[in-house]
Every structure is written in structure tokens, then in C-alpha cells.
Amino acid sequence: MFTEAQLYSPVTRSGDGDVMVHLSDEHPGVHDPDYRARRNAIAAMALDYAPGKPLPHIDYTDAEQQVWRIVSAELARKHQKYACTEVLEAAARLALPGDHIPQLGEVSAALTPLTGFRYVPAAGLVPLREFFGSFADRIFHSTQYIRHHSAPLYTPEPDAIHEIIGHANQIASPRFAVIYETAGAAVARLTTETALKFLADVFWFSMEFGVVRDGDEIRCYGAGLLSSFGEIEEFRHAELRPLDVAAMGTAVYDITHYQPILYCAQSISEIEDVIGGFFATMDDDAPLRALRDRRGANSNVAGAH
């Protein structure tokens, strides 16, 4: 089932109002008191945000800006080599800055004219129903913190680099933005946790870790691949399987390692038809129907032999 939630450091607020981000013992910044205080302060600003209020403005430090510059430059080179044409053209229109971390308002100002999406702050993990459901209103919940400066090309948790360089470049494509919106609309029809997690897992293997045939090459469109310096180099070594909603929605996977199995679309149109089409019709019974259809298809294959 969907386990991306394990990636986010838990955020708590005490009865006195103090906010704490609970970093894991393996986090690069866990023993850095300045970084921990910084994370707590940024999380508190996100928790204090309410719709209609001004977006939190983060005065990023020189060290944080340097991390963004390093990662932006490295990922830009990787994208030219590994990202699909649809993402590259969307990223060119969005034109994220490489010399500084954009504020969420800056991201929204560039993104909204392209696809209508806008960014709002998140302290960390956003409940699945709220996170995916907000796509129906073309809203994306984004963290604002930056990974620790000691490891600029690595993070154990999604940060602003993932949310912006990964997702914003993807959502800047009108074709992908429609798929996000369609997934969000599906959430309003779902009443069971089983169906919600099935949707999240299909989203994971498509919009987070999806790859597509682009001309004579296999290239990536998933935000998790687009934002990971290590993973974007590894996806061509994965076992590539055809799009299969039932398999994607029930796969057992480890989010802490490179994904050994990925689902490859033959075109952007196939992503729209298969993934977007599934989200467009999804209801609480969709997981069972998908499994029945898959069993039926397997039985037909077996019978043919």
C-alpha cells in the first residue's frame, strides 16, 4: 500500500504552541541544532497559514540558496538527458529560477497562467484526502524547507526541491495538469481508505515514478524521478512493464531504495488514456474491478497456451 508518508518527518505542536520537526536518526541534519531550529520555524509558519492569508515568505539563508543552485544546475543537466519532451517543454515555459529558491508565490505566479495550478504551504505530510483532493481545485501543497547543506544531492524526505523542481515542472504541462485535476475529482467520490490508497499507489507509479517512450528512448516524466539526482540515473536499469492499473495499485514497494520495477507508457496519450481514464471513472469499487479485470486477462493468456 501507499507508504510515501514514511518519508516525511513528523511535525508536532505542543500545548504551549512550540512546533517540532522530528528528524530520523539517519537524517543528515539531525545533529545540527541550527538546522533543526530552522526546520521548526519553517514548519510553524506553514501550520499558521490559512486560506486567504498571505503565503509565508521564507528568508532563505546563503547556505540554503547554495544548495538550490547546486541541485538546480545538476538536475537541469540530467533533465536534458533523461526527461521526456513534454516535461522539457513545460519546464521551459515555467522557467524556474536557478539562482535562488523561489517563494511559493513566485512559483504560483509562473504556474497559474500556464495551467491554473497554485501552491500553498505544507509543514510536512498532508493527509492523503486533503493532498490529492486539492488537485480538483488545482492546488498543490508544498513544503518550503531545504535539505541539509552537507548533502545537497541527497535528501531522505521530500523538500522544496522535490515539490518545485519535480512537481511544478510536471504540472506546468496542461496535459499532466488535467490528470492531476482528474485524480483530485476522484477523491471526492471515494469513501474507503482502500480506494484512496489504491489511487495514491497508481499516482505513485505514474505521476511520481512514471517513464514513457519518447522517440527511440525511454525517458521520465514522474516528479520523483525528475527531482532525484540519484534515481534519475537509475530508472533505465529498472524492469519496465506496460501500464497496468491493477498492478500499480497493488504493488509492494520500498520507498527507501531505487525502484526496481517501473511502468512505461508508450506515449503521453497512453498516460492520458490509461491513468487519466482510470482516475476519471474511479469509485470505491475500482480496486476490485481492476483486480478482476487483471485476473481475467491472465486467465485468457493462460488459456491461449
User: 168 near 138, Cβ under 8 Å?
Assistant: no
Secondary-structure percent of the chain, ordered helix, strand, coil, rounded to 5: 55, 10, 35
The strand pair at 261-265 and 211-214 is best described as parallel
Q: Which of 136, 103, 133 is nearest to 120 (CA)?
A: 103
Candidates 79, 108, 162, 206; catalytic one: 162
167 is catalytic: yes
Please answer whether residues 187 and 136 qualify as being in contact, where contact means their C-beta atoms are separated by less than 8 angstroms: yes
Largest CA distance in the chain: 68
Classify 250 in phi/psi space as left (phi over 0), alpha (psi -120 to 50) or beta: alpha
Catalytic residue among 27, 167, 173, 206, which?
167
118 DSSP assignment: E
Active-site residue identified among 4, 157, 208, 231 = 208
CA atoms 110, 145, 142, 218: torsion sign: positive
Is 162 among the residues known to form the active site? yes
Catalytic residue among 142, 173, 227, 228: 227
Task: Look up 239 and say whether it is catalytic.
Answer: no
Task: State the catalytic residues.
Answer: 162, 167, 208, 227
